[in-house]
Chains A and B, each alone.
Chain A
Amino acid sequence: MRNPLSETIVSIKPSGIRKFFDIASEMKDVISLGVGEPDFDTPWFIRDEGIYSLEKGRTFYTSNSGLIELREEICRYLKRRVDVDYEAKSEVIITVGGSEAIDIAMRAMLDSGDEVLIPQPSYVSYEPCVILAGGKPVIIELKNENEFKLTKQELLDAITDKTKILVMPFPNNPTGAVMTREELEDIAEVCIEKDIFVLSDEIYSELTYCGDHCSIASLPGMKERTILINGFSKGFAMTGWRLGYACGPHAIIEQMTKIHQFCIMCAPTTSQYAAVEALRNGDKDVERMRESYNQRRRYLMNAFKEMGLPCFEPFGAFYVFPCIKEFNMTSEEFAFALLDAKKLAVVPGSAFGDSGEGFIRISYAYSLDKLKAAMQKLSEYVEELRRKH
């Protein structure tokens, strides 16, 4: 029989988290700090709106681009929060989570051999999406000494004649790094000069703890070369609703809509109605959750200080990224040993790219009580390792 599989898909490595997940989920009484989604339930009024839409029998497809009310609310929201003007009818598409938006943006923009710059450590799906779209991923290794921000020089060094897209994953999963307006201006200048497009993944935009998030699309000359991706999963605690969106130049959104139309048809209708309500009345709940994350973030930074674990202070998302290089173990060895010794699960930094080696990702989408119990275990473990050395 012939090989039924595509060489391209077989060549892609499975997510680095998988192996770890399989082992950790078999163990009993594990405390996990490995989750990449909010611990809060979706605010009740949003769930209620979803239930209401089902009661009303709104169980049909929406238009391919999504409910126009939702697209209009998204435009108002983006104007209000990041000061970018989008046209609801032609520059917005509602997708199945931010993940789908990443995928179809790559497919709409890349031809074979086009290079895409991916700063790492970062979310695991950019690289496979580029490969599946026929492009060539080019990794930029972000550095701890720059607090895992992208610098102008790193960008310039990675650009070739083939470079078409730069992925901007900030606020960042797994490092928690954010980039300020001034830092983004440096990047924007290079993108304009070198005629590069930007795929800005702003899914954590509501979760910043040091001033409001700045979108690179809001900088002069950038809206026309940026695909802004966002969604409801993180800020509104709506991961399971699978709802995201992309905004950008009409020509790109139009082609993305074509792919979306043939593969997906439309994003879930119930979720779209609930999301309209989230954008209209959700600001207070988002603020409440943000404040709670911020308290936990401060708690963790203080706990690391007390146990002498080096960690730059991150101001975004719900992750911290402490350095474990002093123990002479790879981050995977450290994570496995910690799971084994203390039944505490964290994610090895190397799951997010080679430049994450020597770090672990700790999520603070957990109650303070759970974080306290976990920090107690981590502190004990760190002490044990230090005594051995």
Chain B
Amino acid sequence: MREKILNYIEKNSRVELKELAVLLGTTEAEIAQELADMEAEGIICGYHTLIDWDKVTTDRVNALIEVRVTPQRGHGFDAIAERIYKYPEVNATYLISGGYDLLVSLEGKTLKEVSSFVSQKLSTLEYVISTTTHFVLKKYKDHGTILNGETNDERMIMTP
């Protein structure tokens, strides 16, 4: 049941308990209990909204920054990752396998803010060896949703 609830609310967290209970063939009480439990257990970490900001403002940019660092004895990458993700302008931080170590995502900033963050804060951190900044030019699909995806029902109106 947990997985079914999660699969559903991952796409639509605004669904009413009553409706979700009907769809999953269970009771409102059970859904409410599971949600509360999963929030307490840190399985559900938030209920965010997917926004196509390009339709609202024009001066926001998203950047993905590759960061190479020197791991620290006793802490590996965790301590340096924490130094980075604590900056409020950082939207996501991942440890990555391959040619670099950390992938840092900055969302919804202006070009100027991104460049000053990288040159003045990120690059100057101890243990950071190098950074490569990529700007997102266009978002086609985000969180499994195709942005600007047209869905026309092209089926015939009636078939046996």
Q: List residues of chain A with CB under 8 Å of any chain B CB.
A: 15, 17, 20-21, 24-25, 30, 32, 34-37, 39, 123-125, 173, 291, 294-296, 298-299, 302, 345, 347, 351-352, 368
Closest to A24 in B: B157
Beyond A21-B157, A34-B158, 19 additional contacts (C-beta under 8 Å) are: A17-B159, A17-B160, A20-B158, A24-B157, A24-B158, A32-B157, A35-B155, A35-B156, A36-B159, A37-B155, A39-B153, A124-B160, A125-B160, A173-B160, A291-B4, A294-B25, A295-B23, A296-B23, A368-B23
Interface size class of B (residues with CB under 8 A): 10 to 19
Closest to B20 in A: A295
Q: CA of A299 to CA of B156 in the docked complex: distance in angstroms?
A: 24
Q: CA of A37 to CA of B160 in the docked complex: distance in angstroms?
A: 9
Contacts A299-B23, A302-B22 given; does A32 touch B4 at CB 8 Å: no
Closest to B25 in A: A298
Contacts A298-B22, A299-B22 given; does A25 touch B158 at CB 8 Å: yes
Contacts of A20 in B (CB 8 A): 158
Contacts of A124 in B (CB 8 A): 160
Contacts of B160 in A (CB 8 A): 15, 17, 36, 123-125, 173, 347, 351-352
* Pairwise interchain contact A298-B23, C-beta atoms closer than 8 A: yes
Q: List residues of chain B with CB under 8 Å of any chain A CB.
A: 4, 7-8, 19, 22-25, 153, 155-160
Closest to B18 in A: A302
Q: CA of A299 to CA of B4 in the docked complex: distance in angstroms?
A: 15
Contacts of B24 in A (CB 8 A): 295, 298
Contacts of B159 in A (CB 8 A): 17, 34-37
Q: CA of A17 to CA of B160 in the docked complex: distance in angstroms?
A: 7
Task: Pick 29 A–B contacts, CB within 8 A, sort by A.
Answer: A15-B160, A21-B156, A21-B157, A21-B158, A24-B158, A25-B157, A32-B157, A34-B157, A35-B155, A35-B157, A35-B159, A36-B159, A37-B155, A37-B159, A39-B153, A123-B160, A173-B160, A291-B7, A294-B25, A295-B23, A295-B24, A296-B23, A298-B22, A299-B19, A345-B157, A347-B158, A351-B160, A352-B160, A368-B23
Q: CA of A34 to CA of B153 in the docked complex: distance in angstroms?
A: 13
Task: Name the one of A15, A30, A39 contacting B155, with C-beta atoms under 8 angstroms.
Answer: A39
For the complex of A and B, the 9 pairs showing the least CB-CB separation, nearest first, are A34-B158, A295-B23, A36-B159, A21-B158, A302-B22, A32-B157, A124-B160, A25-B157, A35-B155
Contacts of B19 in A (CB 8 A): 299
Q: CA of A63 to CA of B118 in the docked complex: distance in angstroms?
A: 63
Nearest-neighbour CB distance to chain A for B6, whole angstroms, equals 13
Most buried by B among A21, A295, A296: A295
Nearest-neighbour CB distance to chain B for A198, whole angstroms, equals 22
Contacts of A368 in B (CB 8 A): 23
Q: CA of A139 to CA of B24 in the docked complex: distance in angstroms?
A: 37
Task: Name the one of B7, B22, B157 contacting A30, with C-beta atoms under 8 angstroms.
Answer: B157
Task: Name the one of B7, B155, B158 contacting A345, with C-beta atoms under 8 angstroms.
Answer: B158
Nearest-neighbour CB distance to chain B for A370, whole angstroms, equals 8
Nearest-neighbour CB distance to chain B for A315, whole angstroms, equals 12
Closest to A173 in B: B160
* Pairwise interchain contact A35-B23, C-beta atoms closer than 8 A: no
Q: CA of A295 to CA of B20 in the docked complex: distance in angstroms?
A: 9
Contacts A39-B153, A291-B4 given; does A17 touch B22 at CB 8 Å: no
Contacts of A295 in B (CB 8 A): 8, 23-24
Q: CA of A35 to CA of B157 in the docked complex: distance in angstroms?
A: 6
Q: CA of A21 to CA of B160 in the docked complex: distance in angstroms?
A: 10
Q: CA of A17 to CA of B158 in the docked complex: distance in angstroms?
A: 8
Q: CA of A173 to CA of B160 in the docked complex: distance in angstroms?
A: 8
Closest to B24 in A: A295
Nearest-neighbour CB distance to chain B for A174, whole angstroms, equals 8
Contacts of B8 in A (CB 8 A): 295
Contacts of B23 in A (CB 8 A): 295-296, 298-299, 368
Q: CA of A299 to CA of B160 in the docked complex: distance in angstroms?
A: 23
Q: CA of A298 to CA of B18 in the docked complex: distance in angstroms?
A: 12
Task: Name the one of A35, A296, A352 contacting B158, with C-beta atoms under 8 angstroms.
Answer: A35
Contacts of B7 in A (CB 8 A): 291
Q: CA of A37 to CA of B154 in the docked complex: distance in angstroms?
A: 11
Nearest-neighbour CB distance to chain B for A233, whole angstroms, equals 11
Q: CA of A173 to CA of B24 in the docked complex: distance in angstroms?
A: 24
Closest to A27 in B: B157
Contacts of B155 in A (CB 8 A): 35, 37, 39
Q: CA of A13 to CA of B133 in the docked complex: distance in angstroms?
A: 69
Q: CA of A95 to CA of B160 in the docked complex: distance in angstroms?
A: 19
* Pairwise interchain contact B158-A32, C-beta atoms closer than 8 A: yes
Q: CA of A21 to CA of B156 in the docked complex: distance in angstroms?
A: 9
Contacts of A294 in B (CB 8 A): 25
Q: CA of A378 to CA of B153 in the docked complex: distance in angstroms?
A: 21
Contacts of A299 in B (CB 8 A): 19, 22-23
Closest to B155 in A: A35
Q: CA of A21 to CA of B159 in the docked complex: distance in angstroms?
A: 8
